[in-house]
Structure 1
Amino acid sequence: MAYRYYHRPLFSRQWGGAIKWLIIANVFVYLINWFAGRNFLYTFGLVPYQVVKSLWLWQIFTHMFLHGGLFHLFINLFVLWMFGKPIEREWGTKSFLKYYFTCGLGAGFFIFITSLNSRIPVVGASGAIYGILVAFAMLYPDSIIYLYFLFPIKAKHFVILIGAVALLAGISRGRSNIAHFGHLGGLLVGYVYLKFPLWKHRFHPERLLTFLRLPKISLKRKKKYETKSYKIEERINQILDKILLHGVDSLTTEERKIMDEYSRREKH
């Protein structure tokens, strides 16, 4: 399946830091697997039976760096590069990686719970990639994607389509060796992550750690800092909600500047 999208040039053509290193890591692991053989595949691919029997819990994470063939690797990295660039540009590297791995782990968990007795290794970043497609559709819902480079479809409709296909294919359980529930898991986890964002909760563990390291800070200064920090965070939350509901195109020039500054801080 080929994808192509057109959008006005809001984003830099340079590779994002996260995407570059994810591509390098996936290619590197693919080469290791090529030379190491089946033992490597069964150790680091997701084998639900081994996770249950031997508690090889790392497989839920490591499986997303392995791929079943060169085309499998290429198509996942191509979609990551094409659709991930504008997302990382909007969110920053840290937030992008957090989301990517959350979707990948969610996909692994869905695969695990739907095939507990399976001894066949499942590999691939497809679950995380489906999460990337969901994020793109929620950020740029009216962007046009050309399916197979021929058929135009809006991003928001495309995600619904691939979700329905994954669900039907997973339920039918044909002879396909594709982990459809993994795709569906990455898609659903990504949607829930963005639709009900954790940043709306006001508890931040890192702030507690900062407070414990600086116990002598004056109450007056602390109150002023927390008030300013809360106002900034509240403004960011409002802009993020606006993006999720109406897309990036709805932002004003001032809001774009605020998000650019926020993205730069997140990258460091």
Structure 2
Amino acid sequence: MFPRLQPATQALLIANVVIFLVTMAVPLLPEAVTTQMLLWPIGAGEVMPGAGFMPWQLLTAGFMHANFGHIFFNMLALWMFGSPLEAVWGSKRFATYYLVSLVGANVLQVIVGTLLLSQGQFPNPVLGASGAVFALLLGYGMLFPNQRMIVFPIPMEIKARTLVIIYGVAELFFAYTGRQPGVAHFVHLGGMLFGWLLIRYWRGQPPFKRGGSRGGRGGGQRRGTATFRVVK
């Protein structure tokens, strides 16, 4: 059963689609402008004139997408995971979770990208909402751990918490080995990390002091079946 689309989730979907359509209209938006919206490592401008890190890229890069397939699967995951989380947390808390995780994921990517640049690797920009999407996956697994899903293309049910573990281990493996180039695995890991930290903060759990809001606890035992495909 597909989740009902929630207000903040809908707003994020619209924002991503509108920005994607505008950036695809090259005559309306010069390449020099779009380049400054992508996420670059610190010092990239010394290697590629016109490139380089700017603070706003931590946010703007999360609303940029390379092609139709890229945005389609990210927005599908945003809808499938975001709407149930927003229904539990409310729009304000959900939007906070999404944006904090997005920015946090990109901060980790900048750190890693800058280190790789200092070791002689050619700088490549990063774009897409996948950092926030992986945070939504993590949040879904924490709030609905026993939710049973059918994950395409695996023709069998799997629990949400099992799915989170599988994706987390896979991202660690690919990030460490570099066997899947062209995918920002540290963005995915960063989204999951910051999403986990924020939920722990709301729950007042270590490494944070107790006494925080417990809004992160809701809805942890819902059951049912959902069909989706998580994107990279």
Please state which band the TM-score falls in when normalised by the shorter chain: 0.7 to 0.9
Q: Cα 1:109–1:241, aligned 2, differ >3 Å: closer, same or farther?
A: closer
Structure 1 153/132 Cα, relative in aligned 2: closer, same or farther at 3 Å?
A: same
Q: 1:43 aligns with which of 25, 36, 42?
A: 36
Identify which of 82, 85, 100 aligns with 1:84. 82
Larger radius of gyration: 1
CA contact (8 A) 1:137 1:159 kept: yes
Kept after mapping to 2: 8 A contact 1:51/1:59: no
Q: Which residues of structure 2 form unaligned runs of 5+?
A: 47-51, 206-210, 224-232
Q: 1:146 is paired with a residue of what secondary structure?
A: strand
Among 146, 161, 166, the alignment partner of 1:161 is 166
Task: Report the Cα distance in structure 2 between the residues aligned to 1:198 and 1:61, rounded to whole angstroms.
Answer: 26
- CA distance in structure 2 between the aligned counterparts of 1:83 and 1:21, rounded to whole angstroms: 15
Q: How many Å apart are 1:80 and its aligned residue?
A: 0.6
1:30 match: 20
Cα distance change, pair 170–163 in 1 and its aligned pair in 2 (3 A): same
Q: Distance in 1 between matches of 2:12 and 2:100?
A: 14
Structure 1 runs (4+) greater than 6 angstroms displaced: none
2:149 to 122, 133, 145: 145
Give the helix-richer structure, 1 or 2.
1
Number of corresponding residues: 203
Structure 1 stretch displaced more, 110-119 or 190-199: 190-199
| 1:108 is aligned to 2:112 | no
Structure 1 unaligned segments of length 5 or more: list them.
1-5, 201-233, 251-268
Tell me the CA shift for residue 106 of structure 1.
1.0
The answer on whether the counterparts of 2:105 and 2:191 sit within 8 Å (CA) in structure 1 is yes
Provide the secondary structure at the position in 1 that maps to 2:158: strand
Q: Quick check: 1:65–1:123 contact (8 Å CA) kept in 2?
A: yes
- Judge conservation of contact 1:67–1:73 (CA < 8 Å) in 2: yes
The alignment status of 1:126 with 2:118, answered yes or no, reads: no
Aligned equivalents of 2:89, 2:217: Cα separation in 1: 14
